[in-house]
Structure formats: structure tokens, C-alpha cells
Amino acid sequence: MFFLLGCCLIIACSTQKKQGQANKFSPEKQLNLLTQKTLKNINLIPLDSMSIPRSLKEDGTIRGVKSRDWTSGFYAGKLWQLYRFSKDKRLEQAAMDWTAFQKKERFDDHTHDLGFKIYCSFGEGYRQIGNEEYKQVIIDASEQLIQRYSEKVGAIRSWDHNGDKWDYPVIIDNMMNLEMLFVAAKLSGNPKYYEIADKHAQKTLNHHFRGDNSSYHVIDYYPESGEVRKRNTHQGHSHESAWARGQAWGLYGFTVTYRETKNLQYLEQAKKIANFIFTHPNLPTDKIPYWDFNAPNIPNEERDASAAAIAASGLIELSQYDTSNSEKYLAWADQVLTSLSSKPYQATTPPFFVAQCVGSKPHNSEVNVPINYADYYFVEALLRRNALLKNGALSEVVAD
């Protein structure tokens, strides 16, 4: 009797263990699914420099943009990422084809978003195929970007628009363009790109954050003195609210600047932002934030899955630098990736992967739709998590 009971308990425990393993989220499995989904639909998206997939319109059709748009590099970047994972030559060719449209943007002197446009496309490609032309495009774009730097302000100017509102606006998103400058310093051997990126990060650290470690979206400076003129939140609920994607940009950006500079101030800020986001009382249990942590009608507000994807990718890298909290960060990232891989957050219209994103609710722009940068950072986070599980390191999927 006892022998039979013992056998039953062993079998039951073994079954539960196998079920637990079967139900455990697998980034590799998800990457395989996304790769197959992309290959199945790749010919449904016409190769068109005037219609690079960005998001969905209200009628459910694809919103395509020209290469000038700040999001134009993410689609090619996603294809490069999936090629990195699969080594499927069809994805490599598609990535090269879409990347080619971005080349002229290296000389765009109207934007700070050259990192998004060039590094997420040419940068991804260069890391995988080592094309010398791609290398030069990255250096050219970095040279163009630093023309927007002011020594008096100590930061790279963001927008040129809304001159009636701001004199020298610097947005938290601009932290994401610094990685290209750090890489350009290595590729060119010229330290000026590193130095400007570092100064910009320091200026942002000094002025963008509130006492609770949340971030303003826009800091406007006096061009002649570099003193703060205004503190605003342009795409969030209010000037003093915590716009979700802005918090994610900060987490990711300061993690990268720590990687490149080893300045402990940047690491500490990344840690503070991570804790702000993932211990916030308004963060839902599935770890996908509302579009603004202070939106007035929570829980009846839209989620922003793009913010979650960006934050998850940043968290995974941060786990390798703040090792005492590594387990916590990876657990949070796993929750995000599990949620984004579930049906409610999966887009059903090719070529998109991630649904329930918010571009700018105050402007009624791209509210509760798939957006290409959510896909890009979702795939990047999956690649990073998969690399850690398989190799215990991020060296294959993080810029060196």
C-alpha cells in the first residue's frame, strides 16, 4: 500500500514538473514562431521606399512612411534581428533591400533620430555581415548627428518644430541615439563621438529626472546659457506625469551609456528607473504599463506594449551589470515577454507582431495599434533572453 502510494506521488510530482517545464516561456520557441510568421508573409509587403511599414491606420490598413520618418529603420532592423536568429538567406536579402532605402538618411540634418533611422538598420546589418559600406554610413550619420550638439548647452538638440514653445528642446528619447555615437567612436577611432554622447547623457541625468526617478519628456534649455527654461511632457498625460515610453527610453538609454562608459552614475540611474517602472502601484500584474503611469482613468486606459518591450530589453542587459539584482530584473523581463507573447498582445495583421501600443494619445495618434518599434525591441529582448539562457552571456546580441 505504502509502496503504491509512494509510486503515485513520484509519478504525480514528475508529471507536474514536466508540465511546468512545458508551460515555461521559451524565447527560442517564440523567435521560431516569429521567424516563420515573417517568412510566410514577407512577400505580402511590397518593397517600397515610400511605404515602410510603421503601424496600422484606423481602417486596419498599413500605415507606410518614407525613410525620412523617425521610425523608418525599425522594419529593416527587425528583419536583421530575425536573420541573426535563423540565418535564413531570405531574411538577409529582405533586410538588405529595406536597409538600402535608409542610406540617404545619414545626411538628414533636421532630426536627432538618426540613431533610430540608421543604427537600427545599418547598425544591425553591420554587426552581422560586416559590410564596409554600412560602417561608413554609421560614421556619416554620427557626424551629421553631432552637428546638433551645442557646447553651451551640453546636449544634442532634439526637435526643430514648435519654435513657439521651446528654444532648445531635449527629449528623453534622445538617449536612444547615443549608442550609434559610441559605436562610431570605435569604428572611426575618433573620440569626439564618445565625448559628445557622454556629455549629453550627463546633461540628461542632471535635469530630466524628478525626485521619484520618473522622467520628464522634454527639457527646454536657454541656448546661450544651458540653463533649464521649461520642463514638459509632450506625449504624456500632463507635464508632471510619467509617460510610460519615456521611462522605458531612459532605462534602456542609461543602461547603454553605462555599458560604454562604465560611469557608475549611469548604472545607478538605470537601476532607479527600473525600480520606478516595475514597482509602481499603477503597473498591472502582467507588467504591461498603461500609456502613462498617471493617466486619469486607470484601469480604463490603454496599455502601451511598446514601452514594455523597450523596458524588457533594457532590463535584460541591466541584469548583467547589476548582478545583485539580476534575478529580479530577469523575472520582470520574463513576465513582460510572456505577456507580449500571449494572444491579447499579439498583432494579427502582417508584418506586425505586437498589438496594443500607443504612439501619442494626447495627439490621438496611433492609439491601441501595432507599431514597428514595439516589434523591434520585442525581438531584441527575445534574442537577448535566449542568448542568456543558452550561453550565459549577451556578447552575441549586444554591440561590442
Class of residue 67 by CB neighbours under 10 A (exposed 0-12, middle 13-18, buried 19+)? buried
In this structure, what DSSP letter does residue 64 have?
E
* Residue from 69, 108, 113, 220 carrying the catalytic annotation: 113
Q: Is 267 helix (H, G, I), strand (E, B) or coil?
A: helix
Strand-strand pairing, 365-369 and 149-150: unpaired
The whole model's pTM is what? 0.94
Cβ atoms of 345 and 288 within 8 Å: the answer is yes
Q: Which domain holds residue 158?
A: 40-391
**Known catalytic membership, residue 173:** yes
- CATH code of the domain containing 195: 1.50.10.10
Mean pLDDT to the nearest integer, 243-268: 98
pLDDT tens sequence across 20-45: 333 578 999 999 999 999 999 999 99
Residue 139 domain-assigned? Answer: yes
φ, ψ dihedrals at 23, nearest 5°: -85, -10
Residue 398 domain-assigned? Answer: no
Residue 113 domain-assigned? Answer: yes
Residue 21 domain-assigned? Answer: no
Query: How many whole angstroms separate alpha carbon 232 and alpha carbon 241?
Result: 9
Residue 23 domain-assigned? Answer: no
Residue 109 domain-assigned? Answer: yes
Whether the per-residue pLDDT at 1 is higher than 70: the answer is no
Strands (E), the chain: 52-56, 62-65, 149-150, 155-156, 169-171, 218-221, 228-232, 357-360, 365-369
Whether the per-residue pLDDT at 124 is higher than 60: the answer is yes
Cβ atoms of 356 and 288 within 8 Å: the answer is yes
Give pLDDT, residue 43. 92
Residue 19 domain-assigned? Answer: no
**Known catalytic membership, residue 113:** yes
pLDDT tens sequence across 145-175: 999 999 999 999 999 987 889 999 999 999 9
Number of domains within the chain: 1
Whether the per-residue pLDDT at 107 is higher than 80: the answer is yes
Residue 11 domain-assigned? Answer: no
What does R_g of the chain's alpha carbons equal in angstroms?
A: 21
* Residue from 173, 220, 292, 322 carrying the catalytic annotation: 173
Whether the per-residue pLDDT at 12 is higher than 70: the answer is no
In this structure, what DSSP letter does residue 218 have?
E
